[in-house]
Structure 1
C-alpha cells in the first residue's frame, strides 16, 4: 500500500498543518481521498489495526481501476507523509559512514559504535515535503545532504524485544536529513548533541508498507540501491541493504530501551553507505573524506545556494517506489520569517 499527505486548505481558508491523507496507486499516477476512513496520516497510525484494512481495500481497487473518483497524482502537492510527528529519531546504522565522517573532523572511532547504535532526536515539529526548498541562512554553515531510508511505527512498548520490534514497522519512506557540517564540531564539543547543525529534514512524497518491497524487504532491511543525483549528475547509488550494521528492528529496540514510542514515530537509518566506494556516496562529507584518503586533500565543496539534490529508490524494474525528493538550496530571508514559516505548510 502507498500513502501520501497532500496540501489541504482548511475551512478558515488557510493551509492545514497536517494536510490530508490520500491513497496512491502503485505507479504513483493516481490518488483517491479517504475521509470516510481517516483524514490524516497520524489518524491512520493512531489506530492502524482499524484503518489499515480499509486503506488497503481502497488501494487494491485503485490499482484495479475500480475507483472512479481518483485524480492525477502530483508529487509537488505533497507535504511530508507526517508533516509533524511526535518523534523523529535518526540512527547511524551504516557504521562505515560514521567512521569516515568522524575521521573527516578528526574524531576517533570508539569500538562500541560497532555494537551500540548511535541515535539523535531531531526536530519533529516541522518536517518538510519532497519539493520544499532547503532554506539555510549562510553557505558558511557547510550545507550537506544525507540520503536515508526510514520506518514509521505504531505504538511501540518500552523495552520491546528484537523479535517483536518488526511488528511495529507500518510504513517506510526516504529522507534527506540535511546537515550543516561546519556547525557540528562546536556543538558536539559541548557534549549535548546536535541542534543548530540539524535543520528541517525532507521526506519522500509517498510512504509505503513493507510488502510493497517484496523480497527486497528482508532481514528488516531494504535491499535496493538508493540513488542520489546532485546538480543533475549521479552522485551515488549504494545498496541500502548492504553494510547496514544495525537493521530497523535493532534501531527500534534500541530507541525503546527506556521509553515508549508513540504511533507516528519516525526512525531513520542514517546516511546509507557501502564499503565499496565505487557505488558513490549519499552525502558530501563522506565523499570529501574518501578524497582525503585517496589524494590527501578535499576537492568537493559543500552545497551552495541554487544547488539541486534528488533522492529516489527505483524498484527492480525501474518503477517508482517512494517518488523522489527533489530540492533546491535557497537562502533564507530573515526579514520574512513569519511569511516563510506559514508558506512551508502551503
Structure 2
C-alpha cells in the first residue's frame, strides 16, 4: 500500500506537469559569455587545537616558506611541530561581472591528515583561475559545521564533515574577468535543455515584440538576437527580453527507472501500443528431511538413512490487464494501482514492454 500511495502522488504531480505553462526566458536560458569562473588556491589553516597535520614534508615546506616571508629562517634539519597547522585547498566561484573590492564566499578543505578545521584561521591565500592568474585573495576564520571525537580505545564519533569549512565573504576580488557581453552587435541565449521547438518559440516571441528577423535560431540550443552596442541600452534591452514569457515545448517521452532506490518517473507523453500483460508466477519450494531406519537387535540388518523430500508449489495470484492503442499515462498508472505492483515488478514489466516494442518513449535505467 505504501507503493500505491507513492504512485498516486507521482501521478498527481505528472498531471499538473501535463498542463501548459509559460516560462520566462531567464528561467530556461543563459546568456553566452556571462558565466562564473572557478578559483582554487593552496593555503594553511593555523590555530587548531591539536587537530592539525601530522609530520609531512609538503606541510613543513609550506610552513617554512610562510615563516621566511616574515623574516623567520628555520635551520636546516629542524623538525617542526605542526599539529596546530593544516594544509588546505581553498575553492571559490567568481560570479560574472564581479568587481575589484567585492567579496565572495570560499570553501576550505583539508588535504592532509588533519582531523578537524574547527577553530582554525586561514592565512592569506592566493586564488587563481584556470589561466594561472590571481583573481582573489582569501583569509579569515573557518566555520565548520561538523564535529568529530575519538576515544583512547580508537572508537570514533563523527557528525557531518569537520575537515571542510566555509568562510562567508572570505575572499576579496583583486582582478576582474573581461566579459564579452558588451562586444559585438548580437547577444546569444543558450537553452538549458536543447530543443528545436523551444528555440523556435523563443525566437518567435522576441520577433513579435521587437520586429522580424531580430532573433535567429542557430541550432537546438542557441538563439542569436540583435542588440544595441551602447552598454546602457543593451542592459535595458536585455532586461526586457529575459522577462518575456512563452510556452516551452514539451520534452520527449521518457521513462526513468532508478534501480537502486526503486524510483520510477513516467513522462506525460509516454504511451503504449495494444498490449496484454500478466503478472504473477509459480514458486517451487523443496525441503529435505532425513529419517533413520533402525533394524531389530537380532535381525542382522544395517542402519540406513532415508531421505524424504517434500515439494511445495505455490501459485501466486496472477492478474492480467490489457492496453488499447495509444494508452495515456492516466490509464497506465490506474492499471498499476489496481494490480498493486511493487517497484521491482513494475521495472521488469517496463523493460519487457520496451523489448516488445510496445512502449512509445525512451526507457532510461540508472
TM-score range, shorter chain: under 0.3
Question: TM-score, normalised on structure 2?
Answer: 0.16
By percentage of residues, which structure has more strand?
2
Structure number, greater radius of gyration: 2
